[in-house]
Every structure is written in C-alpha cells, then in structure tokens.
Chains A and B, each alone.
Chain A
C-alpha cells in the first residue's frame, strides 16, 4: 500500500487525475485538472478527460456488443473501465517475486520476442509445446493484440498490455478454443482470478449473443468451473510464462492451482490433415 501511495505522489506532479481512485489517493491528486493538451506518457498514449473516458466507455461497450470482432473496441472498453483494478493488480504483482520481475523487465509477447521454432522443438507435455500447438489449432497469432492507449500511468499501461498478451495463455493452459462460449468462459475465469471490470462486463453481456444451447452449456459446465478455478488459483498476472516454456504442464497446473476444465473443442470446419502425435498428446492432457 505504501509503495503505491508513493508512486501516486510521484506521478501526481506531472499527471492528471485518474478516474475512480480510492479516497486516500484521491485527495492527493484531486486539485489537478486534466486537459486534453496533456503530453503523451508513452508511445501510443492518448490522454482523455473524464468525460471523454466515459463517452468512450459507453461507445465501446455498445460497439463491442454490436460487433464482437471489433477487438479494438473490446480493448478500449477494458482500458476505460479498468479503474482501480489495475493498481490492485500491480500491487499483487509487487507482492510476488515473479510478478516483481515481470514489472521490472516488462517482457512483451509477440512473434519477434518469442522464438516459435524453439517452442515447436520442445518435448510433448511441456507448456511451450502446448502453446505452439494451441496457436496452430486456433489460428491465432500473438501479434494481433492492440497496444494500450487510454491508461495514463505507463506502468499500469504495461500491466494492461501484459494482461492482454497473456490472455491467450489463459485459454491455452485451460485447454479452451477461441469461439464465443470459450471466450466467455475465460472471461468468467478472469473475473474470478483478476477482478477486471471488463471481464465482468463481457461475462454479463456476452451471453446475450449466444443461442440457447450454447448458453446452456456455458452456464451449466463452463461457468461453475471458471468461477471455482479462477478464485482458488493463484493470480495469473504474476506468472512469468516466458520463463516456463520447458515446464511440464501437469506440474504447472498443480503449482498454479488450476483444475481441469470441461472445455470442448468444436469440430474443424474444413478437413485438415490430422497430426496423430499432437492430437493424442492433447487427449492425454485433456483427460487428466
């Protein structure tokens, strides 16, 4: 708590007020008025006034619901509604040695920082191999994450960016695909595990887009698992995934307190060459 207060004091001298601060922090920064001419704090930073923040929050909420493929709108919603959740996550990171290391080194996850070839060469059962297989199965790339724009504090902006880049790992370690009900299951998980308002919003409104059968499966199977597992597991924002590529997946799940998920993968749409070795390894992992 004291470190975060100190941090806020340093930042208050050249940063405008942050929305939704706790009362202790609020009285320190309350007489700073935000102006749209604030200098950007990091590349890509777009300072917003409180009104603009609210406007963007509402607008991005509507747009995310109308078109969930607008990833930039989901990202903007997350940033504008983050509020006190990011300082809280930062403090949780500071309380663990692994999390502190992440904050100090500020690693990024994209195809230039992660050696995909090396991951593919790892033995079966390791986390790295599981991740690369997951990427191939889902067709997702780690390069498509939007950069953070609307968080004023550079460190909190990094925490947000880290969350966004680790989101795929949460899918992967819990063996979920990337269709809508899996995304929602992970959002429930994230809400229980990390406490981000975006996760709660997506969890509340996302199911409106599902049909009855999928919603049924979501709420009867995925959500109970997500809430139980998310709340008992370790806070995953503190995990330094890039240092754990060689770790055995089963051992990792045990360490982090993750339970096996009831995830089911959809049938592939077009006939794809089946890699017998990979699929049998996944079956083994999934069944445990």
Chain B
C-alpha cells in the first residue's frame, strides 16, 4: 500500500481519485488534509477530527513534566534564542502597556519573556499577559514556573484553561487584546483557521497576531540534515530522557504536516489580517533557515 500511494503521488492523478485513495491509506500524504472536513492529520496518521484533540491532550499530559528539559535537549538550547527573538521583534511595552494573550502558552516561556522585556526595556509594569492553554498539566507547570518570578500573585499574569479554537466569549471578549501570541502550539490544533478566527475576534483593531512555529526548510542540504536529526535523534531523546517515544514521534511528524510559509501566510490573510509580502522578512521571518518561523499579521 505504501509503494502504491508513493508512486501515485508522483504521477498526475485527478484530485478526487487521490482523496478517495487517501481514505484507504493508513499513512497520510504530504498534501494538506484541510480539504477533507471529516479527518485530520495526527503526525503522519490520519484520524477523525474529533479524535485529534484527545490524542494531542494525551501527548501533552505525557510530556508536560519534562517539557522544558526536552525542549533544551532536542533543540540544544536553541529554542531559547528563537523565543528571545520572537519577543524582541514584537517590542512589547514600547508604545505603552499592552494587554496580551498568549495561547497554547502552557509553561509560560513567551509570557515571561514579554513581561521581562516590557519591564527591562521600558520600565513597564502594567503590561498583562493571560496565558491560555487547553491542557491543565502544562498550565500547572507554567504556574509552578511563575512562582519563581516576581509576577506570581500579581495582575500581570493569569492562567486560563481554554480551547484556542473556541475561546469562551464571556471571558475573552471581542476586540480586547493588543497582542495575541502563539508559540509552537498552532500545529497541534485541529483546525488552524478556527484558531486564526478566534485570534481575529479577540484582538483590537490595530492589534498584532504573532505566531512562532516550526516551518519548512527550503535549503535541501539543511533539510536533509534536519530530517535525519528529527527522525533519528529526537524520538530517541524522548525515549531516553522522558521514557516516551511516541509523543516525540508525533511532535516531529506534526512539524512536517504544517503548511509551508506562503500557505500559512495566506491563511492568516484569509482570516482578515494584514500581513507583509510573501517573502522572508515580509509576512514571515525565517529563523535558522526555516526550521522555525515567525508569522505576523495586524488586524485591520
């Protein structure tokens, strides 16, 4: 079955035949699954849409306690540089204090950086960040982390358990945030357009949407090395450090399923955001050759 779908992918086939075959194949193809409303991708597997949320929840329940350690081990600490650049490019606090919402921000990496940046660069202690995550275990880790900082028990940070695709409208009111950030979370959501729609709803006009996510590496040499590293080393590191291979296998596969930079930028525009042009430096900024990427948009 695997060889069959591989050769079909290379030849010219009509789209409906291909999607019909995809139902029978147990491994999802490299093309987007967005056209089919009933199933979605869970790494390289195809699962019913309703199931993805539960499966992702299991993954993050399992990785939560070692999440920060594994981030450091698998990226050799580089994820810190990416997050630093992500927040530095946003310059929170430059034009006065902001009301920020950090979605899928469980362990609080971005929220902490936003608050520290505003405080250190602009002496801003009024900026607030609401950390939203669907997974309670991740929020617990974040809460525990924040206890070691000066923001614990202040109005500057708060933790909320909610689904990024359906933020409750009583708590997350329309047009109320200046900055919406989502770092390394959007690829785990079942429907990216739904997340973008919610982001558009809660942001004020003129507010910024910023997304840091793993993306497509276009350089073939770097891409080969990156794939080798991702599929060989990362699941093994998951086995060794966390005793959990399958969660890290999922995480690595989900990176490959995420839409490449121009497609994702178009999805952001389709929601109603205004972005830069479709080049590196415009609608998105590539980090480390595309391993990670910052996409931004402004609500009109």
Residues of A that sit less than 8 Å from B by CB: 36, 46, 49, 51-52, 55-56, 59-60, 63, 70, 72-73, 76
Contact = CB atoms under 8 A, between A and B. Distances in A.
10 contacts: A36-B231, A36-B232, A46-B245, A52-B236, A55-B236, A59-B237, A59-B239, A72-B243, A73-B240, A76-B239
Contacts of A55: 232-233, 236
Contacts of A51: 232
B243 A59 contact: no
A90 to B, nearest CB: 26
Contact of B240 (A36, A46, A56): A56
Interface of B: 231-233, 236-237, 239-241, 243, 245
Nearest to B235: A46
Contacts of A63: 240-241
Contacts of B236: 52, 55-56, 59
A73 B245 CA distance: 12
A56 B239 contact: yes
Contacts, number: 28
Contacts of B243: 70, 72-73
A55 B232 CA distance: 10
Contacts of B232: 36, 49, 51-52, 55
Contacts of A76: 239-240
A50 to B, nearest CB: 11
A76 to B, nearest CB: 7
A223 to B, nearest CB: 30
Contacts of B240: 56, 59-60, 63, 73, 76
Contacts of B239: 56, 59, 72, 76
Majority-rule SS of B interface residues: helix
Contacts of A46: 245
Nearest to A150: B239
A52 B239 CA distance: 12
B222 to A, nearest CB: 19
A59 B245 CA distance: 14
A73 to B, nearest CB: 7
A49 B228 CA distance: 11
A276 to B, nearest CB: 41
Contacts of A36: 231-232
Contacts of A49: 232
A142 to B, nearest CB: 21
A108 B236 CA distance: 27
A72 B232 CA distance: 19
Q: Considering the complex of A and B, which 8 residue pairs feature the smallest CB-CB distances, nearest first?
A: A59-B240, A52-B232, A72-B243, A56-B236, A63-B240, A55-B236, A52-B236, A60-B240
A70 B237 CA distance: 14
Contacts of B241: 63
Contacts of A52: 232-233, 236
Nearest to B245: A46
Nearest to B240: A59
A52 B237 CA distance: 10
Contacts of A70: 243
A62 to B, nearest CB: 8
Contacts of A56: 236, 239-240
Nearest to B249: A46
A72 B245 CA distance: 11
Nearest to B241: A63
Given A59-B237, A73-B240, 4 more contacts: A52-B236, A56-B236, A56-B240, A59-B236
Nearest to B244: A72
Nearest to B233: A55
A36 B228 CA distance: 10
Among the interface residues B231, B236, B241, B243, which one has the most CB atoms of the partner chain A within 10 A?
A: B236
A55 B238 CA distance: 12
B237 to A, nearest CB: 7
Among the interface residues B233, B240, B245, which one has the most CB atoms of the partner chain A within 10 A?
A: B240
Contacts of B231: 36
Nearest to A52: B232
B233 to A, nearest CB: 7
A55 B241 CA distance: 13
B250 to A, nearest CB: 15
A259 to B, nearest CB: 38
A60 B241 CA distance: 9
A59 B242 CA distance: 12
A59 B232 CA distance: 13
B57 to A, nearest CB: 23
A72 B244 CA distance: 10
A101 to B, nearest CB: 34
B200 to A, nearest CB: 41
Contacts of B237: 59
A66 B231 CA distance: 26
A158 to B, nearest CB: 21
Nearest to A60: B240
A36 B231 CA distance: 9
A194 B11 CA distance: 54
A273 B236 CA distance: 45
Nearest to A56: B236
A70 B245 CA distance: 14
Nearest to B231: A36
A49 B232 CA distance: 9
A63 B245 CA distance: 15
A72 to B, nearest CB: 5
